[in-house]
């Protein structure tokens, strides 16, 4: 495939890179020839009108869908076609546009599930409650508590996830994604449904994550947040990258304005 030669995988400091990704559903091409690279420690925003293919791109990156063509490189390896849980174990985590918590489990348990790949006790050890599994359990609780603390939910550990108010559910999703110990974190519209105060808090949390060494990619419609925190912005329309650059560059790009507001000639 020519795309592979065009983009030699993984320069120094590249956290995540794709080359020529394609994905079609029936007759509809949701993602067309997307190639980009995100550097370690970057905060990258992906914006675009509804239906531009942003969530599909996430689904491709995290292995929920297999791309029809193109490759994805992550953590020094080609991860194209790997199952989702393997990709997560390698250090890529995500949140969902529509919150997908485990509503009938406690907040603490939601976070503990995300530590599955970092723990090892199997059926037998768990059923017999052997010392290794008890140690692991205690360790998981401490860890979970730490991540809940980061998003400020440490007091709600025992409540059911489904009973949390919406804003806190989004924060819990974030804590859960962090518990997988990601190198790259994909956030899908994290500010949707949050009020202005919560959105500001979220911005601070994202900064803190970057300081912890996590590369953050976010899909977001809240332009205030995007312009404030992201270092580079990528604009998708009809499944293609139509513009890429710093927030200022993107803001003044005529193609972006056209995509959002419609053609002037029209």
Partner 1 sequence: MDFLGNCPQYIANGLANGCIYILVAMGFNIVFNSTGIINFAQGEFCMFGGLLAYTLAASLGLPLPLAIPLALASTAIIGAAMERLLVYPLRRAGALVAIIATIGASIFFKSLGRVLWPKEAYKVPEFTAGNISLPGATVSRQFLWVFGLTILSVTAVYLFFNHTKAGKAMRACSVNRFAASLVGINVMRMSLYSFVLAAALGGLAGLINAPYASYSMGLFLGVKGFTSAVVGGLGNTFGAVTGGIVLGLLEELIPGFLTVVLGVSTGYKDAVAAILLIAVLLLRPQGILGRGVVEKV
Partner 2 sequence: MIASNGGSGKKRGGSYGSPPRRPDWMGMLRRNALLLGFTVFIMVMPAWAVPLSKPLSIPIILTMRLVGVYAIVAVGLNLLMGYAGQVSLGQGAFFGIGAYTSALLTTKVGFPVWLGIPCAILVAMLFGVLLAPVLRLKGHYLAMATLAMGIVVFVFLREMTWLTGGNDGVRNIPHLSVPFLEITSTRGEFYYVWIVAIIVLALCSRLVDSRVGRAMRALHQSEVAAEAMGVPVSAVKKRVFILSAALGGLAGGLFAHLQRFIDPNQFSILLSISLVTMVVIGGMESVWGSVFGAGLITFLPKLVEALPRWLGEVPDWLERYSNYEGMILGVIIMLTMVFMPSGITKGMVDLVRWRRSSFVNPFRRKAVD
Rule CB under 8 A: say whether 113 interacts with partner 2: yes
Among the residue ranges 4-12, 129-137, 194-202, 250-258, the one whose residues contact partner 2 (CB under 8 A): 129-137
Instruction: Name the minimum Å distance from CB 163 to partner 2.
Output: 13
The residue from 34, 93, 217, 259 that contacts partner 2 (CB under 8 A) is 93
The residue from 47, 52, 57, 101 that contacts partner 2 (CB under 8 A) is 101
The Cα angle at residue 43 between residues 40 and 45, in degrees rounded to 5? 130
Structure tokens at 188: 């899908």
Q: Dihedral, CA atoms, 199, 205, 206, 211, nearest 10 degrees?
A: 160
Instruction: Name the minimum Å distance from CB 26 to partner 1.
Output: 6
Among the residue ranges 11-19, 33-41, 115-123, 230-238, the one whose residues contact partner 2 (CB under 8 A): 115-123
Nearer to partner 2 by Cβ, of 113 and 242: the residue is 113
Binding characters for partner 1, 57-96, by CB under 8 A (x = yes): --x----xx-------------------------------
Q: How many CB atoms lie within 10 A of CB 256?
A: 20
Structure tokens at 247: 């927030």
Instruction: Name the minimum Å distance from CB 107 to partner 1.
Output: 24
Q: Give, rounded to a whole angstrom, the gap between the first and last alpha carbons of the chain.
A: 38
Cβ burial 27-60 (10 Å sphere, 16+ → b, else e):
eebbbbbbebbbbeebbbbbbbeeebbbbbbbbb
Rounded-to-integer distance, Cα 187 and Cα 173, Å: 10
Q: Which of residues 180-239 bind partner 2 (CB under 8 A)?
A: 180
Q: Which of residues 12-31 bind partner 1 (CB under 8 A)?
A: 25-26
Instruction: Tell me which residues touch partner 1 (CB under 8 A).
Output: 25-26, 59, 64-65
């Amino acid at each position: 495939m020519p795309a592979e030669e065009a983009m030699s995988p993984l320069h120094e400091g590249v956290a995540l890179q794709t080359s020529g990704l394609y994905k079609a559903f029936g007759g509809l091409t949701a993602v067309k020839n997307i190639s980009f690279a995100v550097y370690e420690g970057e905060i990258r925003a992906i914006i675009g009108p509804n239906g531009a293919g942003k969530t599909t791109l996430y689904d491709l990156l995290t292995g929920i869908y297999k791309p029809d063509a193109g490759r994805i490189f992550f953590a020094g390896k080609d991860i194209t076609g790997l199952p989702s849980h393997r990709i997560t174990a390698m250090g890529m985590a995500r949140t969902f546009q529509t919150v997908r918590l485990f509503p009938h489990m406690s907040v603490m348990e939601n976070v503990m599930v995300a530590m599955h790949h970092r723990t090892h006790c199997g059926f037998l050890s768990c059923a017999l409650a052997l010392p290794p599994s008890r140690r692991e359990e205690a360790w998981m609780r401490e860890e979970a508590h730490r991540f809940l603390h980061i998003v400020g939910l440490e007091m709600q550990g025992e409540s059911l996830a489904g009973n949390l108010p919406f804003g806190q559910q989004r924060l819990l999703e974030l804590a859960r994604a962090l518990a997988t110990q990601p190198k790259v974190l994909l956030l899908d519209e994290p500010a949707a449904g949050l009020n202005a105060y919560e959105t500001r808090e979220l911005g601070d949390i994202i900064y803190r994550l970057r300081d912890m060494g996590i590369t953050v990619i976010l899909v977001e419609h809240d332009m205030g947040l995007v312009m404030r925190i992201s270092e580079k912005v990528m604009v998708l329309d009809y499944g293609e990258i139509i513009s890429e650059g710093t927030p200022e560059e993107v803001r003044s790009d005529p193609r972006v304005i056209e995509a959002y507001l419609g053609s002037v000639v029209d």
